[in-house]
Amino acid sequence: MPKIETILLATDGSAASEGASGEAIDLAVQVGARLLVVSVLGASSRPSEASAETAGPADSRDSLTNKAQAIVQRAKAAGADATFLVWDGDPGEAIVAAADSENADLIVVGSHGRSGVSRFLIGSVSDHVVRHAHCPVMVVRGKTEAPKH
């Protein structure tokens, strides 16, 4: 198996993306890889997925930068070499482009784990990344919320 030198974590810094962030940090520490945290400032109005991330209307570049910096600080505290980027564009395409540009050996993304009609209506950034990435992709299923009554 080739050595993993750069792990790209695609995240919006939301609570839903926490699982992917934790997995990426742990893996980067374990294998001694550089962790690159990437958030995408997208023009889309659809809700973001858990860590394969388009920013919703309330998320600005500053907000995404602050969230990414917080993840970088957690990673550094755990012993990882970590940096971040904020990209503009379509989330799926931007994540794949960032991975190519940065020569990522692995992409870590999250997913709400939706299926069926819900997935069709919402779209799936993580699915786009899995289908188009030129390196392996680890999809971390987010925590499911309890149904609201």
Q: Tell me how far apart the alpha carbons of residues 74 and 25 are, in angstroms, rounded to a whole number.
A: 8
CATH match for 6-141 among 3.40.50.620, 3.20.20.60, 3.30.1600.10, 3.80.10.10? 3.40.50.620
- Mean pLDDT on 4-18: 86
pLDDT score recorded for residue 55: 44
Helix residue spans in 1-105 (DSSP H): 18-31, 61-78, 91-101
Q: Tell me how far apart the alpha carbons of residues 28 and 13 are, in angstroms, rounded to a whole number.
A: 18
Q: Give tens-digit pLDDT for 26-43.
A: 999 999 999 999 999 886
Q: Is the pLDDT of residue 57 over 60?
A: no
Q: Is the pLDDT of residue 24 over 90?
A: yes
Is the whole model's pTM more than 0.85, yes or no? Answer: no
pLDDT score recorded for residue 70: 94
Both structure tokens of 133: 């990435």
Boundaries of every domain in the chain: 6-141
- Name the percent of the chain lying above pLDDT 70: 74
Q: Give tens-digit pLDDT for 95-114.
A: 999 999 999 999 999 876 55
